[in-house]
Structure 1
Amino acid sequence: MRVISGLKKGLSLKAVPGSSTRPTTDKVKEAIFNIVGPYFDGGSGLDLYAGTGGLGIEALSRGMDNVIFVDQNKKAISIIKDNLQHCSFSENAEVYRNDANRALKALIKRERSFDLIFLDPPYAQQQLANELSIIVDFHLIRENGMIVCESGLGTTMPEHLSTLERVRQEAYGDTLITIYRN
């Protein structure tokens, strides 16, 4: 697993030991950023089920100003911090150990909003439609912002949800990538 492009192109990233985290493959990561970027002129991101931090770090490498990383796994939080330090992005990041629901509530209270949000929950625990509703209803995604959802291949994702419009959906092996624009 590595940074695909941008300032830190080629740097390797640590993986979370064990099978509790399913990192996004380099092939899928490259496909995602070819759709949503490929590069950014600043902006703010949220990596809600961060795992190794690979998606958020890729966004930082490609020009995003800052990213908030959230994961509930203690090992994942440690790996995210290590990967951020290895890439010299610690100053551009906030890392929190929390579950997705509590994290969204905390971000609402802080009145945060984002240009790019990654939702890559463990396939067995997906509540993507509910999380998308919260994100839209509480204005966590900015106008013209994008949300990238990673789910299992059999998942049905809505075409529209409030102000969100599905702009692309692609299958990669057993992974379904769905991208929304606000």
Structure 2
Amino acid sequence: MPRRNNHRSRRPAAPVAQSSVRIIGGEWRGRKLDFPAIEGLRPTPDRVRETLFNWLQAYLPGARCLDLFSGSGALGLEALSRGAASVTFVDQAPEVINQLRSNLNTLKAQNAELIGQSVPTWLEQRATNEEVRYDLVFIDPPFNKGMAGPVCALLEQHRLLADEALIYLETETGLQLDQLPANWQPYREKQAGQVTYRLFMRQPGQ
């Protein structure tokens, strides 16, 4: 008699639920793009992005950008749409990187780099003498994880910033920022509900 296969067939993994985000300005204005609806992923709201990119309007053309904790990619994609020279997206979730790759292909974007790695690990591995110095950095870490301060410190320690780089930081309201580099000067700040968002300008030579 043939031997019976007692191994249960594996069910295919359930597809990851999808949400969408809309690009609000620039070349791809109005385009809706999917992102995985995974726990903790919360795109920067439209009204916050509208304010932020009004602040950044004069600085975006030709800027080299870094989008940390990319998530939906809303900030980096918005920057590309509005004339940034390049964006490096960093996120540890494979679902995020796969969807960003698909969205970049859909948009035919040629000036983006995808890094599938945890943000602190990637920053710690960067050599301080690498040529790329970013003009604009977006930092939108998971809330209540204590990651904002250490990530900001690593950016400065590893010399990843241009002399007058702009740094956008989005955190839970009430977070005490005790580890910010001394040469990051506050430039803009607003609050929307439970979110506080700030823009800093790096002062060179300090």
Residues 126 and 159 (structure 1), Cα distance of their counterparts in 2 relative to 1, 3 Å cut = closer
Question: Structure 1: which 4+ aligned runs deviate by more than 4 Å?
Answer: none
Instruction: Give the TM-score normalised by structure 2.
Output: 0.81
| Greater alpha carbon shift after TM alignment, 102-111 vs 144-153 | 102-111
The answer to whether the 8 Å contact 1:44/1:64 transfers is yes
C-alpha separation in 2, matches of 1:62 and 1:108: 30
The answer to whether the 8 Å contact 2:149/2:179 transfers is no
How far off its partner does 1:137 sit? Answer: 2.5
The answer to whether the 8 Å contact 2:168/2:198 transfers is yes
Length, aligned pairs only: 181
What letter is aligned with 1:164?
Answer: W
What letter is aligned with 1:104?
Answer: L
The answer to whether the 8 Å contact 1:121/1:151 transfers is yes
Instruction: Give the TM-score normalised by structure 1.
Output: 0.91
Kindly report which structure 2 residues correspond to 1:78-97, keeping only aligned pairs within 5 A, or say none.
Answer: 78-89=98-109, 91-97=110-116
Q: Where do 5+ consecutive residues of structure 1 fail to align?
A: none
SS of the residue corresponding to residue 125 of structure 1 reads coil
Q: Which residue of 2 aligns with 1:72?
A: 92
The answer to whether the 8 Å contact 1:11/1:87 transfers is no
Residues 73 and 110 (structure 1), Cα distance of their counterparts in 2 relative to 1, 3 Å cut = farther
What letter is aligned with 1:105?
Answer: E
Q: Where do 5+ consecutive residues of structure 2 fail to align?
A: 1-20
| Greater alpha carbon shift after TM alignment, 103-112 vs 140-149 | 103-112
SS of the residue corresponding to residue 127 of structure 2 reads helix
Q: Which residue of 2 aligns with 1:167?
A: 187
**Per-residue deviation, residues 47-106 of structure 1 (Å, max 9, x unmatched):** 0100011100100111101100010111111111122122221x1111011001111133
C-alpha separation in 2, matches of 1:156 and 1:178: 13
SS of the residue corresponding to residue 87 of structure 2 reads strand
Matched, 1:107 2:126: yes
What letter is aligned with 2:150?
Answer: N
From 123, 144, 148, the counterpart of 2:143? 123
The answer to whether the 8 Å contact 2:153/2:180 transfers is no
SS of the residue corresponding to residue 101 of structure 2 reads helix
SS of the residue corresponding to residue 6 of structure 1 reads coil
The answer to whether the 8 Å contact 1:136/1:162 transfers is no
The answer to whether the 8 Å contact 2:62/2:83 transfers is yes
How far off its partner does 1:158 sit? Answer: 5.5
Which structure has more relative contact order (CA 8 Å, sep 6+)? It is 1
